[in-house]
Amino acid sequence: MLQFKRPRRPNGLKQRSKEQLQALGLPNNNGWPDFKDKFWQDLKPHFMKAQHQKCGYCEIQVSAHGDVEHYRPKSEVQELVAEGTELANSRKLKGRKIPAITEKGYWWLAYEWENYLLSCAICNQKYKSALFPIAPKRKARNHGVFKAENPKKTDVRKEKPLLINPFEKDLDPYEHFEFLRSGVIKARNNDPRGKETIRVCGLRRISLSRQRGPRAVQIWDDSLDFLLAEDDSNEQRRLATGLYFSGHEINLYAGMVRIIFKQITFLEWSDLKNLIDQKGWMPIVKERVKFATQFQE
């Protein structure tokens, strides 16, 4: 996962959002709406650009099949009872159980700009769905078929979400995650937010670990070689600029790259940037970024 900067809210969207919500007739209607309109899908280009066409959770490339996903679910809230298993040589998921535990979700945030982010269809539809774990757990309901009380507007600011949002202002993914050399992700020191984000979004799924694997091995080995490289040598320049480019926000799994680099070197990402600036090597990186981004337009 990588921290992103939320794009600027489009002009007039706040009023349009208000009108959309009012059109639902909530919360006084007798029935409950099925949020089938695609209001938020029109906003997809803004998040595609801000997130460099990457899923906010797993950082795979997102195309036309990506979703503008609701961080806090709009219709109901589910509970992760069984994680399930991704079948070998297939992306089919077996045994995952996520029953609804509330009758309603965060309906008043259905059209809220701050509740949106870009997600791949796998993370959003197959795994996260309407999951949104918080601490402490939701209040139990003493009657009816649902086990927990519905979310309330007054409770949102008091909630402590366990699902990490890539648009969090003070987010440092290193505090929550670590990676094995194989590319398998773990919660750092059993961090509760890292643990729940991995479970909710299926970030340990086989297909994803296999995709990350070659990059993880390369970054792991290059980080070790970087520590051993002679100062001002061609090898140091090659490794430093290569690592920094791999961890550039435009690239897939840049969040993983930065985490592994810090795991191996105990250096901050800013330390690598400062070294490259001091050595005058940044033009090398910028040229590679320029070449890579021409294919993202």
Task: DSSP for the chain, please give it.
Answer: ----PPPPPPTTHHHHHHHHHHHTTTTT-SS-------GGGGGHHHHHHHTTTB-TTT--B--TT-EEEESS-SS--B--SB--EEPTTS--EES-B--B--S---GGGTT-GGGEEEE-HIIIIIIITTB--EESPPPB-SSSS-SBPPP-GGGGGG-EESSPPTT-TT--GGGTEEE-TTS-EEEGGG-HHHHHHHHHHTTT-HHHHHHHHHHHHHHHHHHHHHHHSPTT-HHHHHHHHHHHHHTSTTSTTHHHHHHHHHHHH---HHHHHHHHHHHT-HHHHHHHHHHHHTT--
The confidence band for 248, taking pLDDT boundaries of 50, 70 and 90, is: very high
State the average pLDDT over residues 180-190: 97
- The share of the chain scoring above pLDDT 90, in percent, equals 78
The pLDDT assigned to 92 comes to: 82
The pLDDT assigned to 64 comes to: 73
State the average pLDDT over residues 276-284: 96
- Whether the pLDDT of residue 26 is over 80: the answer is no
The confidence band for 131, taking pLDDT boundaries of 50, 70 and 90, is: very high
The pLDDT assigned to 110 comes to: 92
Residue pLDDT, tens place only, 92-129? 899 999 999 998 899 999 999 999 999 999 999 999 99
State the average pLDDT over residues 48-76: 93
State the average pLDDT over residues 6-19: 94
